Structure 1
Amino acid sequence: MTGNITTATDFRNTVLNGDSVQLMRALPRNSVDFILTDPPYLVNYQGRDGRKVRNDDNARWLRPAFNQMHRVLKWDGFAVSFYGWNRIDLFAEAWKAAGFRMVGHIVFRKSYSSSSRFLRYEHESAYLLAKGNVTPPAKPIPDVIDMPYSGNKLHPTQKPVAALLPLVEAFCPVGGLVLDPFAGSGSSLVAAQHLGRDWLGMELDPDHAATATRRLAWHGARRAAA
């Protein structure tokens, strides 16, 4: 889906193709219950197959994007953001400037090495961010989560849904809305859909946005038929 958001219902259970900063500006303030996102790591990533990630070669979008995420997230809400470990200074500055507090750190343990140089890189990382005086979840989840290999068939940095399910369940209330402004192939949205939450994805690349849309439709049809 492309175009402007015109009503409160336009942004539920859809994938929007476009610049997420501009798209979020059209969202009402304090309208999202939980943000789960895997933005570009600012490392000019290129996979073994040559695929790249849009806007991974610059940080111009970083502060504006997190400013908008903070604006649309409800007070006392949580966000989980993956980040590039060697660009943590830029990410942390953007989170704090937007008004987020860093209240937890999550390690996603891989069963394989994504690269090897000084060390074998066998994990991904994310920060748990808070807006306002948040209430801890009733059942806190571990800060180390296993991350099975997704195969990266749908996106060069595709995250497995299984690793994202605990985050949605812990930090998004039942009936709440999950936002991913860097939706990629839609793994975070599939996790939200699987758990009965509403979801909204934003993706700059039209091919990935179309992939995510098809994927959500397929999973939604399977869930409805179950």
Structure 2
Amino acid sequence: MNQTSLFSRNVIHQGDCISVMRRMPARSVDFILTDPPYLVRYQSRDGRRIINDDNGRWLGPAAREMFRVLKNDSLCVSFYGWTQTDRFIGAWRAAGFRIVGHIVFRKKYASASRFVCYTHESAYVLAKGRPALPENPPADVIDFPYTGNRLHPTQKPVAILKPLIEAFCPKGGLVLDPFCGSGSTLVAACEADCDYVGIELDRNYHRIAARRLAA
């Protein structure tokens, strides 16, 4: 990986996000939107798993690098696993983020059933410094259309990501997704007229994201 490609816009890096972000300039990203492993040892119905979903060693270092590369007075939206909420919040706060909002993505189906039926995903809105309030803030409950998880076992629909980018990233700004999976955030950034940098550890999903963006 050369220095020119590392700092270019509209690229997807294959590798460990902590290592990649450590080589990125500080305060170079306008908005972060990401869906990291939930730390729940998830396995989809067809047997697919997520790398590093079985440990939290990466959580603190990744949060610190996300904070460092994010511009001052800017926002990050991160999905998280609700059973590990305290670990995520602890890592974000230790890195310097403030929690300024919470979003629930309402599903029409249950992804699992235990004591209750799980029919939502969640994300926190995190601030670095004192960001300006958005002109058109998104709702804190957003309907979540089903993707079929065809490209990734936890694939997020572009339709729920694009409004967040439009609200929280300046037009033409740079969106970072350090856990980009099949590239849904990156597609949403393109549709919102923003640039992107994606990072994905799994070589298979990196190839899927690259093909998706090339198309």
Which TM-score applies when normalising by structure 1? 0.93
Q: Secondary structure at the residue paired with 1:208?
A: helix
**Structure 1 75/217 Cα, relative in aligned 2: closer, same or farther at 3 Å?**
same
2:16 counterpart letter in structure 1: D
Distance 2:48 2:8 in 1: 29
How far apart, CA to CA, are the structure 1 residues paired with 2:108 and 2:98? 31
1:207 corresponds to which residue? 204
| 2: CA distance, partners of 1:8 / 1:132 | 29
* 1:30 corresponds to which of 23, 27, 34: 27
Say yes or no: does 1:151 pair with 2:148.
Answer: yes
Report deviation, 1:160: 0.5
1:9, distance to aligned residue in structure 2 (A): 7.2
CA contact (8 A) 2:7 2:24 kept: no
93, 114, 123: which is aligned to 1:126?
123
Aligned counterpart for 1:93 among listed residues 90, 95, 100: 90
Q: Is the 8 A contact 2:6 2:24 kept in 1?
A: no
Q: CA RMSD in A?
A: 1.0
Change (3 A) 1:20 1:70: same
Given the alignment of the two structures, is residue 142 of structure 1 paired with residue 139 of structure 2, yes or no? yes
**Where in structure 1 are there 5+ consecutive unaligned residues?**
219-226
Q: For 2:51, which of 26, 50, 54 is the aligned residue?
A: 54
Q: Percent identity?
A: 62
SS in structure 2 opposite 1:29?
A: coil
Whole-angstrom distance in 2 between the partners of 1:181 and 1:55: 13
**Does 2:4 align with 1:15?**
no
Aligned to 2:175: 178
Distance 1:78 1:101 in 2: 10
Unaligned runs of 5+ in 2: none
Report what 2:41 is aligned to: 44
Residue-by-residue CA offset, 1:114-168 (whole Å, 9 max, x unaligned): 0001000000000000000111101111000111001101001000000111100
What SS class does the counterpart of residue 63 from structure 2 fall into? helix
Point out 4+ residue stretches in structure 1 off by more than 4 angstroms.
Answer: none
* Amino acid corresponding to residue 43 of structure 1 in structure 2: V
Distance in 1 between residues matched to 2:178 and 2:6, nearest whole Å: 17
**Post-superposition CA distance 1:15-66 (Å, at most 9, x none):** 1000000000010000000000000000000000000000000000000001
How far did residue 8 of structure 1 move?
7.9
1:80: which partner in 2? Answer: 77
Q: Secondary structure at the match of 1:7?
A: helix
Whole-angstrom CA distance in 2 between matches of 1:7 and 1:63: 28
Change (3 A) 1:217 1:8: closer
Taking structure 2 as the reference length, what is the TM-score of the superposition?
A: 0.98
Q: Please state how far the C-alpha of 1:196 moved relative to its aligned partner.
A: 1.0
Q: Is the 8 A contact 2:98 2:126 kept in 1?
A: yes
Equivalent pairs, count: 215
Q: Which amino acid aligns with 2:164?
A: L
Query: Which of these residues, 189, 201, 212, is aligned with residue 192 of structure 1?
Result: 189
Q: Secondary structure at the match of 2:41?
A: coil
